[in-house]
Amino acid sequence: MIQLRNVSKMYPNGAKALIDVSVRIEKGEFVFLVGPSGAGKSTFIRLIYREEKPSRGSIILSNKNLARMKDREVPLLRRKLGVIFQDFKLLQDRSVLENVAFALHVVGTPKREIGIRAKKAIELVGLATKEKVLTAQLSGGEQQRVCVARAIVNDPMLLIADEPTGNLDPETAWGIMELLYNINKRGTTVIMATHAREIVDQMQKRVIAIEAGKISRDEAHGGYGYDV
């Protein structure tokens, strides 16, 4: 599915975020990225959706090397991915439906399909009754659900999430995790960077720990593992 080979990332200011990282993630896996603040988790995520290019090494995603990918191919890559963020990144002045449909419009989906698919995704995240509400008027948990709906509406093969529960209370966070769990069960690969100890401990999925830019631990069924 996705393979990093000797990947290093140095930012223009000289910060070494990742150092010689090699890892392979198979199709259908659910992977937690854990590690202290500044370890390089977000950098890892950004490399996968090609917001950043690796300074060294290669990243192979469905037979394409992202390190050599041209800028104009990036939109095509992103259409195969779903991305979820801590701060949701929604259009505040538009309804739930419009936000989800947005992702279909920009990739040129035929009009008659857009409504059907967007509504299906919204139903899946449990917001069917709030379709017409502006996202600015939703709670944090609901906003994150919209974000999930938008991320899955294109049926991505890979879902990447950077601290998707970072701004949510524990109960709401579990609601989002349930969504991701179900999406993963339907065959979508999920990679999620998080600081949520309880969630990681309880779900017993693959855990990749990053410390100071290097992989320090990689367990098939692990816990959060830090005592801090």
Partner 1 sequence: MTSSSAGYILSETLHSLRRNPMLSFASMLTIFVSMVILGASFFFMVNANYMASTFESQLEVSAFLNQDITPEDIERVRGLITVLPEVASVELVTKDQALAQFGQNMGANQSEIIEDLGGVNPLPDKFTIKTTDPQQVITVAQQVETITGVKKVRYGPGVVEPLLKFTQWLRWIGVGIVILFTVASLVLISINIKLNVFSRRREIQIMKLVGASDTFIRWPFLIEGMIIGMIGGILAALTVGYGYNWLVEYLTMTLTFLPVVHNAVFFGEVLTGLILAGMLIGALGSTFSVRKYLRI
Give the footprint of partner 1 on this chain (CB under 8 A). Answer: 49, 51, 72, 75-79, 81, 83, 89-91, 93, 102-103, 105-111, 114, 150, 154
Among 7, 25, 34, 39, binds ligand ATP (CB under 6 A): 39
Count of residues interacting with ligand ATP (CB under 6 A): 12
- Using the minimum distance from each CB to partner 1, give the nearer residue, 21 or 83: 83
Using rule CB under 6 A, residue 87 touches ligand ATP = no
- Kindly state the smallest distance separating residue 133's Cβ from partner 1, in Å: 17
Strand partners, 95: 134
Chosen residue from 2, 7, 17, 158 binding ligand ATP by CB under 6 A? 17
The answer to whether residue 228 forms part of the interface with ligand ATP (CB under 6 A) is no
Burial class (CB in 10 A: 0-12, 13-18, 19+), 170: exposed
Q: In whole angstroms, how close is the CB of 180 to partner 1 at the nearest point? A: 18
Any contact of residue 41 with ligand ATP (CB under 6 A)? yes
CA distances from residue 20 to 5, 25, 73, 163 in whole angstroms, order as listed: 8, 16, 25, 24
Nearest residue to 118 (alpha-carbon basis) of 138, 135, 97, 134: 97
Q: Do 138 and 126 touch, CB atoms closer than 8 A?
A: no
Cα separations in angstroms, 205 against 68, 191, 193, 219: 31, 11, 13, 8
Query: Which DSSP string corresponds to 119-134?
Result: HHHHHHTT-GGGTTSB
- Amino acid identity, residue 135? T
Q: Is 191 in the site for ligand ATP (CB under 6 A)?
A: no
37 binding ligand ATP? (CB under 6 A): yes
**Residue 135 near Mg ion by CB under 5 A:** no
Q: Which does 15 bind (CB under 5 to 8 A by kind): partner 1, ligand ATP, Mg ion, none?
A: ligand ATP
Dihedral pair phi/psi, residue 96, rounded to 5°:
-55, -50
Determine the size of the site formed for Mg ion (CB under 5 A): 1
Task: Give the other-Cβ count within 10 Å of 163's Cβ.
Answer: 20
Rounded CA separation 48/59 (Å): 8
With CB atoms as reference, the residue minimizing the distance to ligand ATP is 42
17 to 56: interface string for Mg ion, x by CB under 5 A: -------------------------x--------------
Q: Rule CB under 5 A: which residues touch Mg ion? A: 42
Q: Rule CB under 6 A: which residues touch ligand ATP? A: 11, 13, 15, 17, 35, 37-43
